[in-house]
Structure 1
Amino acid sequence: MQILSTLSKIAVRIPLFLWSIIVVFPLVWMFIGAFKTNAEIFSSPWSWPQQWNLNNFVAAWSNYNIGTAFLNSLFVTILGSLLCLLFAIPTAYALERLRFKGSDVLLNTYLASMMLPSVLGWIPLFFLLLKFNMLDNLWALSLVYAVSQIPFTIFILVSFMGNVPRELEEAAAIDGMSPYGILLKIVTPLVKSGIITATILNAISFWNEYFLALILLDTKSKNTLGVAMDLLKTSARYESAWGVLFAGLCIAVIPVIIFYSIFQRHIVKGMTEGAIK
């Protein structure tokens, strides 16, 4: 039995190990290529760079607008995540706790909207923002990002708020706390895992978003990282700036990897608690 158990573990781990290599290898190759010159990339694409330097990173950051795009993406990601929480937390609490006529229909409408392809709303959204003179605006883009993730955030938070004992809210109400105080001081701290999980997933989605930024932004100085990387890809193709392209990709990917690594435990914990609910 011991041998069978060991063999079964090996049979499971070998495919996982191979899959890890398949996923990690392109990232390692990209990172090494970011420190190479174009000549080294073409002459010895699989070798280590002869000299480690940051010239490609400096060129990508300064000459190809990656630095400005990085700050723009950071702005819309942070603002969009905060706005999404500002809208979703009270809505989720109202749908879960304040039962009213049509609350189930409203909740199901939010959940059903997650099934619709977002591409269906791009053209109406463009003309709506055009009418209100909100095109080419990072604040408006942040608002669009926030609204687009409200159904998903509500879906997560409703399940967590359902686990909060009603007796805690009733005791706080007896002590004279207002409904807003109950939400902010009682319920919100108890669903912290759900809030962190939703925020992390939303932030990664906003950081990697490309199509809405391409459609709603026009000025080059307001491009987000996804759009700037697409322009850099075109430049690399015609200018042979492959090292700069690899450096730009590293600038775009490394913050996500670091962010996910720091909050990985919170994501797993939040998903597990949500699955149990």
Structure 2
Amino acid sequence: MKKKVRPAVIRTGIRIPLILWAIAVLYPIIWMFIGSLKSNAEIYSNPWGLPESFNFQNFIDAWTNYNIDTSVFNSVIVTVMGMFLTLVLALPTAYAIERIKFKGSGILFTVYISAMMIPMVLGWIPLFFLLMDFNLLDNLFGLAVVYAISQLPFTIFVLTSFMGTIPKELEESASMDGLSPYGILLRIITPLSTTAIITVSIMNAIQFWNEYFMALIFLQSRTNYTLGLAIDFISSEAQYTNAWGTLFASLTIAIIPVIILYAIFQKRIAKGMTEGAIKG
């Protein structure tokens, strides 16, 4: 009897903190979504209750009056470009470090891993002047380049770990058939690394979509604002115009794509991280 009770107590002791943590995380999100469906009068009179009726006017106001539509488009452009540039730079680098052993490859890999420990904030001022010299300041492509560079160390780390699990015999056979290293990378390694590529792409996409500080520094005109900057503008306006419902609606618009994306690819992400972790 004691043998059965003890594991049950342990499971309960583990589950209770997890349940409390889940409630602490989900409650603000649910409260925000409910607030987005309320009028300003309801928000002030009954901030914790359910809306009397489902009012989608806040979403319409955010989309039209505060140009959230433009900001969503800008965020999509920057996120897609950042993901693409990161993969273009990281895939050949990871393959060269992991598979084509050359003098200094170990040192290069250590440098990339060490870069993960360096706070990005240290490079913001030099990057500002660098982008200004290349006329890429207040430019979505320039911001996408910065995003891609910022995520290169993490992406290379995951891809090299995953590529290390691919049998080398496949490359040897492809090389005997006349494929060049670039051909092996594109036709053999890349298709077999789909899980890792999806993993880093989704995680980078979430990072780029939610990023705020670099966009604040490198973007200046409102027409180029990403979603984070647009929401910050609405937040400052809400203090004087009482547009709290509009602010909640904007936050809901920003968070729903991330939740959907992570929910769809959750198993892929977990698989990619665990398979890369058991290298060799």
- TM bucket (normalised to shorter chain) is over 0.9
Q: Structure 2 CA distance, aligned partners of 1:167 and 1:126?
A: 46
Paired residue for 1:179?
181
Paired residue for 1:114?
116
Q: Structure 1 CA distance, aligned partners of 2:120 and 2:17?
A: 35
Paired residue for 1:226?
228
Normalising by structure 1, we get a TM-score of 0.98
Moved over 6 A (4+): none
Unpaired segments of 5 or more residues in structure 1? Answer: none
- What does the per-residue CA deviation read over 1:60-82, in whole Å, with 9 as the maximum and x for residues that have no partner? 11111211111100110011001
Normalising by structure 2, we get a TM-score of 0.97
Mapping of 1:85-96 within 5 angstroms?
85-96=87-98
The amino acid across from 2:109 in the alignment is: L
Mapping of 1:88-237 within 5 angstroms?
88-237=90-239
Q: Structure 1 CA distance, aligned partners of 2:23 and 2:77?
A: 34
- What does the per-residue CA deviation read over 1:87-126, in whole Å, with 9 as the maximum and x for residues that have no partner? 1000000111111111111111111111111111111111
Q: Structure 2 CA distance, aligned partners of 1:6 and 1:84?
A: 46
How many residues were matched structurally? Answer: 277
Q: Structure 2 CA distance, aligned partners of 1:108 and 1:16?
A: 36
The amino acid across from 2:270 in the alignment is: V
1:11 aligns with 2:28: no
Q: Structure 1 CA distance, aligned partners of 2:118 and 2:19?
A: 36
Q: Structure 1 CA distance, aligned partners of 2:10 and 2:57?
A: 49
The amino acid across from 1:229 in the alignment is: I
Q: CA deviation at 1:221?
A: 0.7
Unpaired segments of 5 or more residues in structure 2? Answer: none
Q: Structure 1 CA distance, aligned partners of 2:277 and 2:109?
A: 19
DSSP 3-state at the match of 1:263: helix
DSSP 3-state at the match of 1:149: helix
Q: Structure 2 CA distance, aligned partners of 1:112 and 1:272?
A: 21
Paired residue for 1:254?
256
Paired residue for 1:42?
44
